[in-house]
Amino acid sequence: MKKSFFAKTIRGRIIAMTAGITLIITFITVAVCFSVFQSFLHRNQIQTAEFNLQLVANSVNSDMEDILYFNDWLLANNQVLSYLESFKGKERMTYASREDKGLRTIALATFDRVKEEYMASSTQKYMTRLIISSDNANNLLQFIYLSGESSPHNVQRLLSADFYSYLYNSPDYQWIGFVDDPFFNISGNNPIIPLVRPVYKSYNSDIIGWTYLSISSNIVTDYLKSYPLADDSALYFSMGGKFYRIDGDHVVEMSPDFTVETDISQNVLDSGTRAQTVRMADGSHRTLVSRALEPEGWCLYQILSEQQLQAQRRFYILLMFAICLVILSLGGALMYLLNRTISQPVALVKKKIDAISAGDFSRDESIEWDHEIGDIGKGINDLSRSVVTLMDKRVADEQQKKDLQYQILQSQINPHFLYNTLNSIKWMATIQGASGIAEMTTALARLMKSIAKGTGSLVTLREELDLVKDYFLIQQYRYGGSISIEYHIESEELYQCRIHRFSLQPIIENALFHGIEPKGTAGKIVVDVKRTDGLLDISITDNGIGMTPDVIERVLSNDDEGKTKADFFKQVGIHNVNQRIKYDFGPEYGITIESVPGEYTTMRILIPCVIPGDEDISIPENPLDEGEKKL
């Protein structure tokens, strides 16, 4: 089945990935922003309601503080106390003043003083009625903010009210909720908060009278007239265990039409405010914000508007839709730019590759742009040039190989000719009884035969030591027997270890010419062969003049290879041997030199102990050996 465009081409995959990533980013952005906005919007709505309720609560608290302060002033004022003590147990003031003219003066003075304080209060409009009465309720002072439909003289309505006895006998202020004003003839039109307190003598606990103060419900509703409230929102007020719905200037007692489910007060700023999730009577879920007031048991509530939340949510959804359009538009523009930026360069690069496969290796600078694909184009041009260079080099190498094989064929003529000639000389010396000449000629012949085999292949240690013996025998005749050599081989099996041909002779030669000969005395060379940790360990020690560290470094680093067979032993010098070992066995193997100037020099070869038939280590043969074998 044929793959689709998006799955078949890199361009299609990039476009698909770009579109997918754009959609994912858009979805995540919208989801996260919507969640954050929802949370922020809800929290902001709660905190706005909290702020508004706090303003109302602070105002009501301030007014109630003034009213209670005024009432406490009444209970402790000396003139009020004097008035109540004077009329304690008296008949009505009309009869009492006939018997004692001073009582009337006290009553008038007390009335004026209380009226002065009453009128000076900033909350007088909420204190709709004030009564100061003696203990028998026969004598009283009354202050009314607005008379209206009240019956100011019928104090029995107050005394018979349900709340009077409870409030009178309470040890402190008690809030029983809103009640109908007992002095009004029409029920339900003027709800008040009643305040009844007994008055005690200043020097003992005897009750000499009582005070009554009615507080208008306007103390709460006045501050809610301009309260910002949506159509589906509602305000409630609770006091004395009673619950009220606030409807304009009216307070309507009711049972809560909701059930609290979850506390979400973490969204409010002040500890005096609470936020809760509630289930309404119709099953919907709403948010309730409440603010406690200073009078105990007083609390304001607001059911938050769902319509406002939905309106803001719709606005945000439109905003998110616009953001999505912008992001998708940017994604489309990005897809277009990627398509244009990638497609054309890729097509040109592909065209160049097709040209190379057809044999056109010329450089095309039009595909070397200043971006990543341009780097690929430059790499293709460099590769094309490298291919041409490698093909030319291969042709040249093949020609050079043919020339070298021809030179090898020529170079083998002289060693073989000399080898045959030396054999003839050996037999002539043997016939004539010159054993020294025969022995030296035999050694030289074997040495020339080894030279003819080249230096590339591995030989056994025994073969290499035989070559060293032939070489050293020739040198012994040269030096007149003033030099000697000893061989210490740890075990017979070490003779079978493989070693490079002509790897020991350059070290022996170095010991003779650069160690023993400059010393001017008899010299000795010791060859010690052993196995160390599975490795072939060969040490060659001479008692010559020794080497300084600088000379040691120069010996190991100087490459003095020659190019002709006439300079063969220089060609396979110490540096050359060291390099051959490292090339074939690894950089951790090779030659190390230890020397004390004037005493000795030890050159140590450390290589793997390779025995014929071992397949663990493979040593490459010299490519020129093929030419030698053909000879």
pLDDT of 378 > 80? The answer is yes
What is the percentage of the chain residues whose pLDDT exceeds 90?
A: 34
Q: What is the pLDDT of residues 211-253, one digit of tens each?
A: 999 999 999 999 998 888 888 889 999 998 999 999 888 899 9
Strand-pairing partners, residue 600, are 596
| Domain definitions of the chain by residue range | 361-411, 413-452, 454-608
Q: How confident is the model at residue 570 (pLDDT cuts 50, 70, 90)?
A: very low
Position 413 scores a pLDDT of 43
Identify the CATH class of 454-608.
Answer: alpha beta
- 330-350: b (≥16 Cβ within 10 Å) or e: ebeeebeeeeeebeebeebbe
**pLDDT greater than 70 at residue 62:** yes
**Is a pLDDT exceeding 90 seen at residue 1?**
no
Give phi and psi for 352, each to the nearest 5. -65, -40
Percent of the chain scoring above 70 in pLDDT: 79
Q: Is a pLDDT exceeding 60 seen at residue 19?
A: yes
Q: How far is CA 44 from CA 39, 40, 267, 268, 309, in A?
A: 8, 6, 9, 9, 10
**Token pair belonging to 265:** 């007060």
Average pLDDT over residues 82-99: 71
Model confidence at 426, in pLDDT bands (50, 70, 90)? low
**What is the bridge-based pairing of β-strands 242-247 and 179-180?**
unpaired
What pLDDT sits at residue 24? 83
Which ranges in 363-460 belong to alpha helices (H)? 372-411, 413-431, 435-452
